[in-house]
Chains A and B, each alone.
Chain A
């Protein structure tokens, strides 16, 4: 079946790198996404990667995909207090349905 798992909490110091990990089960996933949710707001797409890629970089964000292990990670360089939020990993298996993980709450300590 379809399932996306991620750890619930991560705490880092301001200026350090954050790495949020995610595993998924559906090998037919075509797109994998990272969404960010700030308090009282909806989800905002941060970045995404197509399943035939293994890395994507976008400014401070680096996405790594290990398709063999069904493992996705999001690295945030030089983490700032404004990066404190919940980060959701999600997969799309080629249809209209997107499956979300439970979200990782990132705490950034000044």
Chain B
């Protein structure tokens, strides 16, 4: 299993600013992912964080808006850039140890943009 620490747990931000969310896993994992969870909706995969290379983004998400870093096997960051109220959501970091493996999740970052 893996324990994932995510911070900040919540933030209130002004329109036009950027927020970086950090995700730390307590063991080496193969895959790290970033999800968005909007109220009453399913989790939407933003991107797969690749170690040492550019993240792989899902349709509808772009690097300029959601830059992602993964400098090593246990750490990743997601930045929400040039925020607008539509970016208000919960952002979740997750990780798995391999193909077909179950996902472990951080506790999420509740973001509110004013």
Chain A positions near chain B (C-beta within 8 angstroms) = 4, 8, 30-31, 33, 35, 40-45, 48, 88, 92, 94-98, 100-103
Contacts and interface: CB of A to CB of B under 8 A. Distances in A.
9 contacts: A40-B9, A42-B94, A92-B100, A94-B100, A96-B31, A96-B96, A98-B45, A101-B42, A103-B42
Contact of B42 (A4, A31, A92, A97): A4
Contact of B40 (A4, A33, A41, A102): A102
B100 A41 contact: no
Interface of B: 4, 6, 9, 31, 40-43, 45, 48, 92, 94, 96, 99-100, 102-108, 110
Contacts of A88: 42-43
Given A8-B40, A100-B42, A40 B107 contact: yes
Contacts of B100: 30-31, 92, 94
B103 A45 contact: yes
A60 B31 CA distance: 31
A103 to B, nearest CB: 7
B102 A33 contact: yes
B48 A43 contact: no
